[in-house]
């Protein structure tokens, strides 16, 4: 990818204010084992397992500790900022006045969101209650080393998928999906998969725009040769079937929550190729 460090307007830096348990221990030293794979990979509601947020004393907002960081990490923050700015500008153009900005909250170890307490092990997530994307940068190491999905566009795809959930919140798709899950509990898992695949497709829609030549010279993010393959590889790498095989050696399709590797890369590719919101109607029966 070609990009230039710009503003960090899309970032809320919470790396210096990780919430702590009253006992003074970081959340989840043991819990991390149970929640190892997390909502990004296996489900959506792992936050509640960590208990009510009243169990937690948090530094007041604005009272953050200085962040110990490295030049490499700051470069990663700049990258996330540039991609998030580009995602927001792109969706602003696609949705016009329907678009409202989001923030990418960077955290370490654990974070308190309006959806509850979450720790790094749940992976990146979007909270529809506060309309924010949450990301611990250490996930990118996992993506590369643990899931075999290296590359900057693989990292951008993860962010674009979460911003895809923001689009679903803005357009009301997320709310109507939840209502439908209440109405038809037996369909809950299938509906969740459709929502996830649509977020993959929306990530592709952004990629469709970002691959247009000349963007970099105009100060925007621009894809390069090999980026599409990195993104498709990442979408396949975190398909439920491949993850299940990594964890248990077996594939149980009924427990899929995000879609198989083939489904995820198919829908990401569809967004990339067609580039319209309409092309992402995963709820329309096309699988």
Which residues make up the interface to Zn ion (CB under 5 A)? 196, 199
Q: Tell me the pairing of strands 132-135 and 125-127.
A: antiparallel
Q: Cα(199)–Cα(193) distance, rounded to whole angstroms?
A: 10
Q: Which is nearer to Zn ion, 82 or 199 (by Cβ)?
A: 199
Q: Would you call 20 helix, strand, or coil by DSSP? A: strand
Token pair 């990663």: residue: 76
Beta bridge partners of 199: none
Closest CB 23 distance from Zn ion, rounded Å: 32
Q: Which is nearer to Zn ion, 222 or 238 (by Cβ)?
A: 238
Closest CB 170 distance from Zn ion, rounded Å: 15
Concatenated DSSP letters of 250-279: ---GGG-SS--HHHHHHHHHHHHHH-SSGG
Closest CB 283 distance from Zn ion, rounded Å: 15
Q: Which is nearer to Zn ion, 88 or 198 (by Cβ)?
A: 198
Beta-carbon neighbour count of residue 262 at 10 Å? 14
Q: Which is nearer to Zn ion, 220 or 258 (by Cβ)?
A: 258
Q: Cα(285)–Cα(164) distance, rounded to whole angstroms?
A: 19
Closest CB 268 distance from Zn ion, rounded Å: 12
Q: Which is nearer to Zn ion, 16 or 43 (by Cβ)?
A: 43
CA angle 7, 131, 254 (to 5 degrees): 120
Closest CB 1 distance from Zn ion, rounded Å: 21
């Amino acid at each position: 990818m070609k990009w230039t460090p710009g503003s960090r307007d899309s970032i809320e830096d919470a790396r210096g204010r990780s919430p702590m348990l009253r006992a003074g221990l970081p959340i989840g030293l043991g819990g991390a084992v149970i929640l190892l794979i997390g909502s990004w990979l296996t489900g959506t509601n792992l936050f509640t397992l960590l208990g009510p947020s009243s169990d937690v004393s948090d530094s007041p907002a604005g009272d953050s500790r200085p962040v110990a960081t490295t030049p490499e990490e700051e470069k990663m923050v700049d990258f996330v900022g540039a991609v998030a700015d580009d995602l927001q500008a792109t969706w602003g153009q696609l949705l016009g006045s329907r678009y409202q900005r989001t923030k990418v909250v960077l955290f370490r170890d654990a974070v308190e969101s309006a959806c509850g307490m979450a720790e790094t092990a749940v992976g990146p997530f979007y909270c529809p209650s506060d309309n924010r994307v949450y990301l611990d940068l250490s996930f990118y190491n996992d993506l590369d080393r643990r899931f075999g999905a290296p590359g900057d566009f693989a990292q951008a795809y993860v962010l674009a998928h979460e911003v895809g959930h923001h689009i679903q919140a803005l357009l009301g798709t997320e709310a109507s999906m939840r209502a439908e899950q209440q109405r038809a509990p037996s369909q809950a898992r299938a509906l969740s998969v459709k929502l996830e695949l649509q977020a993959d497709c929306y990530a592709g829609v952004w990629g469709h725009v970002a691959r247009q030549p000349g963007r970099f010279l105009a100060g925007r993010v621009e894809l390069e040769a090999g980026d599409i393959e990195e993104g498709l590889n990442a979408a396949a790498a975190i398909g439920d079937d491949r993850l299940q095989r990594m964890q248990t050696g077996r594939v149980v399709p009924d427990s899929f929550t995000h879609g198989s590797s083939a489904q995820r890369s198919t829908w990401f590719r569809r967004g990339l190729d067609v580039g319209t919101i309409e092309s992402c109607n995963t709820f329309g029966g096309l699988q």
